[in-house]
Amino acid sequence: MADKPRIQTTTVGSYPIPDWLAALPSESARLDATRVVFDIQKQAGIDLPTDGELYRFDVNHPDTNGMIEYFIKPMAGIRTALGRTELEAFAKKETMKFRRKPAGVVEGPIAEGSLNLLADCEAAASVAQGDFKFTVTSPYMLARTLLDNFYHDFESLIMAVADVLAAQVKDLPCACVQIDEANIPGNPDDAQLAAQAMNVVLDRIDKKKSQRAVHLCFGNYGGQTIQKGEWKKLTNFLNTIHVDHLVLELAHRPVQDLDALKDVNDKIGIGIGVVDVKVNHIESADEVAARIEQAEKVLGKNRVTWIHPDCGFWMLKRSVADRKMAALAAGRNKYLGIR
């Protein structure tokens, strides 16, 4: 990626499930769909595409992108068949206020079980035809979805999840591994523990082969923000995580949120969301360019290294997602004077 513009374009992760994949799901269809997703992004002008996270698609749960269950269900030590008592116990904890059902119940030491990120990353690599980004949900977010009947200590639980994920990311054949976290922006009091767990994972990524990115947002379900918070409470957290660049929700946020990023270590590249995934409005190239200009006025020239959507596209229609990606690249090109 050395020959790319100083501000590069990327997507965050998910892409809307193609209707034909949902109608006739199979391994070959999923691989074909992944190939299509890569091609769409390249045609739109995306420098570092994602695989669309289609490997997480479950025909039995087509309304989710598998950010949680894909990781939790295969792990050993976790039972995903739940009874009434367990549902009630999790609901009383209120660790995930928007989610009343746990992803699983921890009954023994957590281990990888049948989780195999390498296989899915290799499948994506086989059709990527170039650099791409692979995404992994953070141990903090995963741990908060669990009912713990074994460790009885949240720090022990989250570190057990972190150890499993760390072993999974060490040899992934991709240009960038991105850790996704949509909970800590609304729970800044847990920032130190979350950073400790995320660093266990980030430190196992081969820095000679892959960049390390962390995506942080305030959640999105049906166009609704899930977490309440502000970036200024997370500055220390951002400076603590062992990351090459950040991927931050900003298009759907107040303008003053940019001010908080002034204190981010200048060794960390800043990626700003310039496309809002919570609305169907298609940004113009001028709108995207203006958001980049505003960010550089606040943060300084060369501090913005990436632009991207605020979050993944899986809840949008494909026609909307595709045009938003095209606007993303067009706006960057307009701002930098690229023809």
Give 76-97 pLDDT, tens digit per residue: 999 999 999 988 888 887 666 6
Quote the CA–CA distance of 199 and 225 in Å, as a whole number.
26
Percent of the chain residues topping a pLDDT of 90: 78
Highest mean pLDDT among 39-53, 76-90, 207-221: 39-53
Quote the CA–CA distance of 186 and 229 in Å, as a whole number.
5
Q: Which residue has the tokens 């994920």?
A: 165
Q: Which residue has the tokens 């979805």?
A: 145
Q: Is the CA virtual torsion 77, 80, 81, 83 positive or negative?
A: positive
Tell whether 103 is covered by a domain: yes
Neighbours of 258 (CB within 10 A): 22
Quick one: pLDDT at residue 256? 83
Neighbours of 144 (CB within 10 A): 23
**At 66, is the pLDDT very low, low, confident or very high (cuts 50, 70, 90)?**
confident
Quick one: pLDDT at residue 227? 62
Tell whether 115 is covered by a domain: yes
The string over 153-179, giving b where at least 16 C-beta atoms fall within 10 Å of a residue's C-beta and e elsewhere, is ebeebbbbbbbbbbebbeebbbbbbbb
For the chain, how many structural domains are there in total?
Answer: 1
Task: Please check the confidence at residue 99 and state whether its pLDDT lies above 60.
Answer: yes
Quote the CA–CA distance of 72 and 115 in Å, as a whole number.
8
Q: Decide: 71 and 154 in contact? Cβ < 8 Å.
A: no
Residues 6+ apart with CB under 8 A from 23: none
Q: Look at 54-58, 109-113, 193-197 and tell me which has the smallest mean pLDDT.
A: 54-58
Quick one: pLDDT at residue 107? 97
Quick one: pLDDT at residue 94? 64
Tokens of 230: 């502000």
Which CATH number is 51's domain given? 3.20.20.210
Interval 159-171 mean pLDDT: 97
Q: Which residues pair with 104 in a beta bridge?
A: 146
Between 1 and 166, the more confident residue is: 166
Quote the CA–CA distance of 304 and 241 in Å, as a whole number.
18
Quick one: pLDDT at residue 255? 82
Report helix, strand and coil shares of the chain as percent, to nearest 5: 40, 15, 40
Quote the CA–CA distance of 260 and 265 in Å, as a whole number.
12
Please work out, in degrees rounded to the nearest 5, the angle formed at the alpha carbon of residue 119 by the alpha carbons of 117 and 124: 95
Tell whether 117 is covered by a domain: yes
Residue of 267, 221, 232, 248 whose CA lies nearest to 309: 248
Tell whether 1 is covered by a domain: no
Write out the residue range of the structural domain in which residue 150 sits. Answer: 8-336
Neighbours of 101 (CB within 10 A): 12
Quote the CA–CA distance of 292 and 312 in Å, as a whole number.
20
